Amino acid sequence: MSAASASPARPPRRLEKPLRWIIGILLLLVLTGGLFELVLRIYDPLRLPLEDMRDFYRLDAHSRIETTPGWSGNQFVEGSQVPVQMNALGLRGVETGIRAAGERRVLMLGDSYVWGQGVRDDQTVPARLEQSLRATGANVVVGNAGMFGTSPREWGYTLDRYRGAFFPDLVVAVMYVGNDVLDTLQEPLTVVDGWLIPSGAAHVARTSWRFQFMVKSRVWNKIEKLVENTIESAALARRQPIGPGIALAEALFLDRDPARDAELPFLGEVEATLASNFRDFARASEGLRRVVVLLPAHDVALRDYADLLQENKLDPALHQRGRGHARLVRLLTAQRLEVIDLTDRILAEQDRQALFFARDWHFSQVGCAKVAEWLQPEIERRLR
């Protein structure tokens, strides 16, 4: 046997080059993904306002959401990082301490407009209200029990949580007459892996590798958001209306002529749900002074009402600004709850745009200060 015939046969070289290309491309993708992950963790210009709020919420003994006492972190709004600090009671802001002799206490409930999306702890409506009351010499502490993403459905049991810990003299519940109405109609909220989600999606979130990966990876989070937005857009384009004359945006369906309610059973369902929420709040606040503040939806406050009706394909002969608030006043007073409607105050402002952030739509620092200014005499009167 010759030396040449004894040497092992070489494998074909045809696959070596494509294999090297495939390995190279995979390595490049991994390195690129890692680089983007690092960049997004350092600076993410497209970060959502509440994207860094993990573990802000937890579940109580009855599997209902509540804020986490002592939580601290940041929200990202209008391109700025805003620090958030929750005190030992789970209220936003500084510690309230033991109630002093002669001290009066006000507890404010509501959604992100009360909690203060986009503003610092000392710039929220409750904080501004406390500052203005104290400036008159009054010894008043205002607790911020606002919870972003919630609705009147959470008012009652949230007050149950704080009534024996904060000891309020007056309870002020604030309702944003926009998505607060729609959120009330949705399934209850829960917490999975530190994130606030609808309870109907909880099982999927607990078992989905995509959800877990989205939580851990900023890059995958962006991919999921892109896919989600694409799917949502397609779904909305195909969605059938719930009934004639209904537009879910900004809860404009509440403005429909009440004499024609029989034509729209959906309105009866909405009113029944809201009445149940208000009844639960009345139960929880029994024996306390209490008042409900109504805030107009952002578009209703800033845009021409006729344009809104036209955009949402609503009949101007059936819809009129203010009817929705009148519905809510009727439901609230039926539970012996006082109401303060700030719509006229907001509409009378010369520069209404300044009350809200340009893109986020929540109250700006100016808006929070104005709302506190309008509420101050109302609160003082009820504390006498």
Q: How many CB atoms lie within 10 A of CB 354?
A: 14
The Cα 172–Cα 290 span in angstroms is 6
The Cα 139–Cα 150 span in angstroms is 30
The Cα 7–Cα 2 span in angstroms is 9
Average pLDDT, the chain: 87
Which pair of structure tokens corresponds to residue 217? 């990876």
Task: Give 64's DSSP letter.
Answer: -
Please choose, from the candidates 117, 128, 42, the residue with its C-alpha nearest in 3D space to the C-alpha of residue 74: 117
pLDDT of residue 239: 39
The Cα 332–Cα 281 span in angstroms is 10
The CA-based dihedral angle spanning residues 24, 26, 27, 28, taken in that order and rounded to the nearest 10 degrees: 80
Q: Give the predicted TM-score (pTM) of the model.
A: 0.85
pLDDT of residue 13: 61
Total residue length of the chain: 384
**pLDDT beyond 50 at 235:** no
pLDDT of residue 17: 72
Backbone phi and psi for residue 71, each to the nearest 5 degrees, phi listed first: -65, 140
Cross-strand bridge partners of residue 57: 67
Residue 276, judged by CB atoms within 10 A of its CB (0-12, 13-18, 19+), counts as: middle
Q: What is the mean pLDDT of residues 222-233?
A: 59
Residue carrying the six token digits 């606040």: 285
The Cα 105–Cα 170 span in angstroms is 7
**pLDDT beyond 50 at 31:** yes
Q: pLDDT tens for residues 273-318? A: 999 999 999 999 999 999 999 999 999 999 999 999 998 888 999 9
Q: What is the mean pLDDT of residues 236-257?
A: 66
The Cα 28–Cα 79 span in angstroms is 31
What proportion of the chain, given as a percentage, has pLDDT over 90? Answer: 62
pLDDT of residue 41: 63
* Strand-pair category, 189-192 with 195-198: antiparallel
- Angle 125-135/365-383 helices, nearest 10 degrees? 50
Cα 56 → chain centroid: 13
Residue bearing the bigger pLDDT, 50 or 300: 300
The Cα 339–Cα 330 span in angstroms is 10
Q: pLDDT tens for residues 52-75? A: 898 999 999 999 999 999 999 999
Domain at 57-383, CATH from 3.40.50.300, 3.40.50.1110, 3.30.70.890, 3.40.1170.10: 3.40.50.1110
pLDDT of residue 35: 78
Lowest mean pLDDT among 101-110, 159-168, 189-198, 215-224: 215-224
Lowest mean pLDDT among 83-87, 147-151, 190-194: 190-194
Q: Which residues make Cβ contacts (< 8 Å) with residue 356, sequence separation at least 6?
A: 298, 301, 302, 362, 363, 364, 367
- Angle 155-166/265-284 helices, nearest 10 degrees? 10
**pLDDT beyond 80 at 365:** yes
What proportion of the chain, given as a percentage, has pLDDT over 70? Answer: 85
pLDDT of residue 52: 80
Domain ranges of the chain: 15-44, 57-383
Asked if residues 84 and 75 have their Cβ atoms less than 8 Å apart, the reply is yes
pLDDT of residue 134: 96
When mean pLDDT is compared over 51-55, 144-148, 192-196, 225-229, the highest value belongs to 144-148
**pLDDT beyond 80 at 352:** yes
Per DSSP, the three-state class of 151 is coil
pLDDT of residue 234: 43
Q: Which residues make Cβ contacts (< 8 Å) with residue 117, sequence separation at least 6?
A: 49, 50, 75, 77, 148, 360, 362
The Cα 344–Cα 356 span in angstroms is 16
Residue carrying the six token digits 């029989």: 262
